[in-house]
Amino acid sequence: MCVHVWANGLIWLTGGDGSVWASDNIYGSSCTKIIGVSGFSRVSVGPGGVVWAVKSNGTLWKFAMGSWTKTAASGIGDVAVAPKGIIWLAGKNGTIWSSPDNGVTFSQDEEASGIENIATGKAGAWAIGLNGKLWRKLFSPQF
């Protein structure tokens, strides 16, 4: 299961069965299951409410304007979207990738390896390695 709280306070989460849920209020007191969606393990929401989600098979999907689109990214274990839109991916092989252009291109961060989970905030990306080591990448002002 994975949960992501969007900047506006709304909540998105994946269920243990791979379903995707979204709250309809900022308190998360009720959630709605997204019909026809399954197999997801991770979810993150970016600017404009665009949802990025990873399927259990390692594929990356984007939900925008009412429809799901499979991206070219594969071998993905986790996804996190920074408040200004940079997308961060943790590969199943422990690598870190990022995209400043809404997922059109991704570049590998050569300084990071052995990463399992990733999260973002206003100041940067944080990740936990397979060995428990904490990794941090501070954002420059444009991000």
- pLDDT tens across the length of the chain (143 residues): 556 565 566 777 888 888 888 886 666 667 888 878 899 999 998 888 889 999 999 999 999 888 899 999 999 999 999 888 889 999 999 888 989 998 999 989 877 778 888 888 777 888 888 888 887 877 655 44
Number of domains observed in the structure of the chain:
1
Is residue 114 assigned to a domain?
yes
- Could you report the per-residue pLDDT of 120-138, keeping only the tens digit for each? 877 788 888 888 888 787 7
Is residue 143 assigned to a domain?
no
Taking a C-beta distance cutoff of 8 angstroms, is the pair 117, 131 a contact? no
* Residue 67: CATH number of its domain: 2.120.10.30
Residue 17: both structure tokens together:
């069965």
Residue 10 belongs to what domain range?
Answer: 2-138
